[in-house]
Amino acid sequence: MQRDTDQYYSFTRRSALLFGGQIVLLSGLAARMYYLQVIEADRYRMLAEDNRINFKLLAPRRGRIVDRFGRPMAINQQNYRVLLTPENTKDVEKTLDTLATIIPINDKERQKILRDIKRRRRFLPMIVRENLEWEKVARIEVNAPSLPGISIDVGESRYYPDGILTAPVLGYVSGVAETEQTGDPLLELPGFRIGKSGIEKTLDVPLRGRGGTSQVEVNAFGREIRELERVEGQPGAEARLTIDLELQKFVAERMGEDSSSAVVIDIHSGDILAMGSTPSFDPNAFNRGLTAEEWRTLSTNPRTPLNNKAIAGMYAPGSTFKMVVALAALERGLITPATRISCGGKVSLGDATFHCWKSKGGHGNLDLLGGIMNSCDLYFYEVARRVGIDRISQMAERFGLGMMLDIELPGEKKGLMPTRAWKKSHKGAAWTQGETMISGIGQGYMLVTPLQLAVMTARLSNGGRAVKPRLTNAVVAFDGTELPAPPQPEFEDLGISPSHLEVVLKGMAGVTNLPGGTAFKARIKDPAFAMAGKTGSVQVRRISKLERETRVLKNEELPWHERDHALFVGFAPVHEPRYACAVVVEHGGGGSTTAAPIARDILIEVQRRDQSPSTELNVPRRPEGEG
């Protein structure tokens, strides 16, 4: 009897446990159904037959570019654009036909759209037209039911407030080419722009930022019903340059429409304060999209507006090179500041005749100061002959000539400082003494860039320190943290004798501040701002003996492409150097008449903006007995 009672209670407990478990399961099921059918009802309603959820990648705001004082050089502005998502329309061509009744779409644009659709994933939207007026936007929105796959997007586009004046430094942005796809989803977004030249290209990755996401409800036709959730991306970093925007504009405007370039550099820090190259181009045109005619005009212009001549233009340095030749000779003890050389206007070597620019009568008997101040070619023919080309090139490289300076811009050219070994390997011939003499006045095989000339002048005037140019002060993330950057180096000493530098700088001061100096007419008359410098005129064609003797045509009467290049390098103020400047005017004629006045005005402006000039002037007296 007891056993039956135990079995009864055991069965009852199991039944209770089983029943309780069933109650728990049913309660959980009921709770889940309540959650799905009541709490999540709206969510699942959106996933009904005629609705779905799409995820979109959002383009981040491109980082600004500002000058050294925080003034904007490259910003973003609102841009209305019409997009086509092929996946959301059954007939792309029919949609384009309907859209063409609202905005014009020519055959070329239509074929490009159809071609791009085949190359890209169909769910990715593509831009049909940008920079729409509000009237067109409204008409498209009104006709949205008959435009499946078409949507209006409000984005941002790059804008350069000062256009052509800052283009050589900033460069431009443009659409992503197929060859530039790296797998980054951002690069596949419609209308996404990347840097194609200038600082925009160099700092493209930090300027891009990081994309966000948007979760939107769309109907069966792909039309957006509402946005459900948005996660903002990370804006691009802000690039702060060493450029002084107001000085940059002054330099560009001062050069005008001449095919020319100019660089202004702080001789102690290496900061590039301005870099001009003219004629220039409008970077905003690349952002909106160039027409075929616009591109043809730019790319075929003989004055190369797309080329930043400051870093990629290569020229013989002409007489601006004479200080380097002098230092090479002084260092080897082959001349002293008192070494005198007679100039009668020409000198012979074998059956060749080498002329001074002052061919009638020459300069007479000159010492080194007189040779630099009067830019006497015969003086430096002889000095170069004594030194030799290899030693000259070695000294030139110490001053940054014929060397990559690693400025933060794409397209920098190295130039050339020839040597005996270079000619043997590249020309298959031995170097000649006549070529050494020509190199003594900065002609022949030598090629330099205006940036290199500015760096050379900075190293001469800062006491012989190997200053290096730079354009970027800082790159600052959106949250204000500064991105890691290479530390500013301690510039090494070039090992040039201070006394040798002193005599060369005195010669440069005489060029601009003493009567008889080749740039005396272009001098800065205010003693507080006075400059020192060196002129240069570079022949681009061979002058025949008959032409030299008859002087049938003056330089300015020749066709533009046959005229001499005009060069000038200078620093200011003379008594306490702070700024260096190099100017090259292609086919501009004389360095003293064309390039020197431009450099003078630039050096006045940069000192005026500094607002802290000293008033003492220390110009050497003209040595006695000079021709």
Cis peptide before 623 (omega within 30 of 0): no
Out of 151, 260, 261, 319, the active site residue is 319
As a whole number of angstroms, the distance between CA 442 and CA 319 comes to: 6
In the DSSP assignment, the letter for residue 464 is: S
Q: Which two tokens stand for residue 623?
A: 């040595």
DSSP secondary structure letters along 114-161 = HHHHHHS-TTS-EEEE-S--HHHHHHHHHTGGG-TTEEEEEEEEEE-T
DSSP secondary structure letters along 189-207 = STT-EEE-SHHHHHTHHHH
In the DSSP assignment, the letter for residue 595 is: I
Contacts for 139 with CB less than 8 Å, ≥ 6 apart: 102
As a whole number of angstroms, the distance between CA 576 and CA 350 comes to: 46
What kind and span of H or E run contains 79?
Answer: strand 72-84
Q: Which two tokens stand for residue 77?
A: 């502005």
Does residue 597 contact residue 520 with C-beta atoms inside 8 Å? no
In the DSSP assignment, the letter for residue 593 is: I
3-state class (DSSP) for residue 274: strand
Bridge partners of residue 218, in order along the sequence = 52, 224
Cis peptide before 279 (omega within 30 of 0): yes
**Residue 458: exposure state from Cβ atoms within 10 A (0-12, 13-18, ≥19):** buried
Bridge partners of residue 211, in order along the sequence = none
What kind and span of H or E run contains 373?
Answer: helix 368-373
Phi and psi, residue 164, nearest 5° = -65, -20
As a whole number of angstroms, the distance between CA 106 and CA 111 comes to: 9
In 87-192, which ranges are E strands? 126-129, 150-159, 173-175
As a whole number of angstroms, the distance between CA 169 and CA 241 comes to: 10
CB atoms near residue 219 (< 10 Å): 13
DSSP secondary structure letters along 228-239 = EEEE--BPPPEE
Q: Which two tokens stand for residue 436?
A: 């050494």
Q: How far is CA 393 from the centre of its chain?
A: 28
Q: How far is CA 339 from the centre of its chain?
A: 44
What kind and span of H or E run contains 52?
Answer: strand 51-58
Contacts for 362 with CB less than 8 Å, ≥ 6 apart: 342, 343, 344, 345, 346, 356, 376, 378, 627
As a whole number of angstroms, the distance between CA 14 and CA 20 comes to: 10
Contacts for 274 with CB less than 8 Å, ≥ 6 apart: 243, 244, 247, 248, 250, 251, 262, 263, 264, 602, 606
Half-sphere exposure of 208 (CA within 13 A, CB side): 21
Specify whether the backbone of 140 is left (phi greater than 0), alpha (psi in -120 to 50) or beta: alpha
End-to-end Cα separation, the chain, in angstroms = 146
Is 375 in the active site?
Answer: no
Q: Which residues are catalytic?
A: 319
